[in-house]
Amino acid sequence: MTRALYRDDPYARSAETTVAAHTEAGVICAASLFYPAGGGQPGDSGQLEWAGGAIEIVDAVKGPDDSVVLVPAQGAALPPEGAAVVQRLDWARRHAHMRVHTALHLLSVVLPLPVTGGQIGAGKGRLDFDMPEAPEDKAALEAALAALVARDLPVSEDWITDEELAAQPQMVKTMSVAPPSGQGQVRLIRIGEGADQVDLQPCGGTHVARTGEIGALRLGKVEKKGRQNRRVTLHLAD
């Protein structure tokens, strides 16, 4: 099992750890600053440094037994098992993922419909909705998103048991991907607090600390993807 440093502090840009194992795909460290691809969010990239060497990490993926595998650039020589290493994130890319991911949660607030898919990128993201007809007023949706960003709502995490989530199925917005369960508890992402809470849903990804950090957004295409599905894309405006 790899300690999830990306969850402990999503704003950490570097961290020390040790190499626990090698796999065919790459390196498993005792702790990972790199988010492994999942839930529509790409794996992180960056560098891994140790005494006498350094390699580029081009991806991070989930490995066996809750481990995280850091995927090196092709042909790179791996640090030896047991070596002390420093992980350094491509922070600009990660932070863009965090901004887009939180923005997509807000998109699911202004479009309160079942979500059938999604994808996060460094400058844009999209959600697919069970939505037979396209929104009539895209400008109104964009204005509603901007208002939620401007409120600078806090973004925090909480945890509930598998049983508590099963008793509240309305909390799960995604139709295509079930939240991870079977480990006793499920992580929730909350946007807003108390009477100002606007969203609470299961999520394992990384997020900004406040909605104001997302910055300006614009909505892109609304595309038809099957009889019942519409794909809505949003872009970071800066």
Tens digits of pLDDT across the chain (238 residues): 899 999 999 999 999 999 999 999 999 999 999 999 998 999 999 999 999 899 999 999 999 999 999 999 998 999 999 999 999 999 999 999 999 999 999 999 999 999 999 999 999 999 999 998 888 889 999 999 999 999 999 999 999 888 888 788 777 777 666 666 556 788 999 999 999 999 999 999 999 999 999 999 999 989 998 888 999 999 999 7
- Do 177 and 200 reside in the same domain of the chain? yes
- Do 75 and 137 reside in the same domain of the chain? no
Who contacts 195 (Cβ-Cβ below 8 Å, separation ≥6)? Answer: none
- Do 137 and 229 reside in the same domain of the chain? yes
- Domain stops at, among 59, 74, 89: 89
| pLDDT of the residue at 168 | 80
- Do 100 and 59 reside in the same domain of the chain? no
pTM of the model: 0.94
- Do 83 and 194 reside in the same domain of the chain? no
Please check whether residue 87 is in contact with residue 56, taking contact to mean a CB–CB distance below 8 angstroms: no
- Domain stops at, among 65, 89, 113: 89
Angle 168-7-77 from CA coordinates, rounded to 5°: 135
- Do 60 and 164 reside in the same domain of the chain? no
- Do 111 and 176 reside in the same domain of the chain? yes
| pLDDT of the residue at 55 | 97
C-alpha separations of 29 from 60, 147, 211 in Å: 11, 41, 32
Work out the mean pLDDT of the chain and round it to a whole number.
Answer: 93
> In 10 A of CB 69, how many CB atoms?
25
Tokens of 91: 């922070």
Give me the number of domains the chain comprises. 2
- Do 47 and 99 reside in the same domain of the chain? no
- Do 210 and 98 reside in the same domain of the chain? yes
- Do 132 and 225 reside in the same domain of the chain? yes
What is the CATH classification number for the domain harbouring 50? Answer: 2.40.30.130
- Do 32 and 100 reside in the same domain of the chain? no
| pLDDT of the residue at 148 | 98
- Do 229 and 160 reside in the same domain of the chain? yes
How far is residue 75's CA from residue 69's CA, in Å, rounded to a whole number? 16
- Domain stops at, among 41, 58, 89: 89
Write the pLDDT tens digit of every residue in 79-110. 999 999 999 999 999 999 999 999 999 999 99
Domain assignment of residue 214, given as a range: 94-236
| pLDDT of the residue at 170 | 77
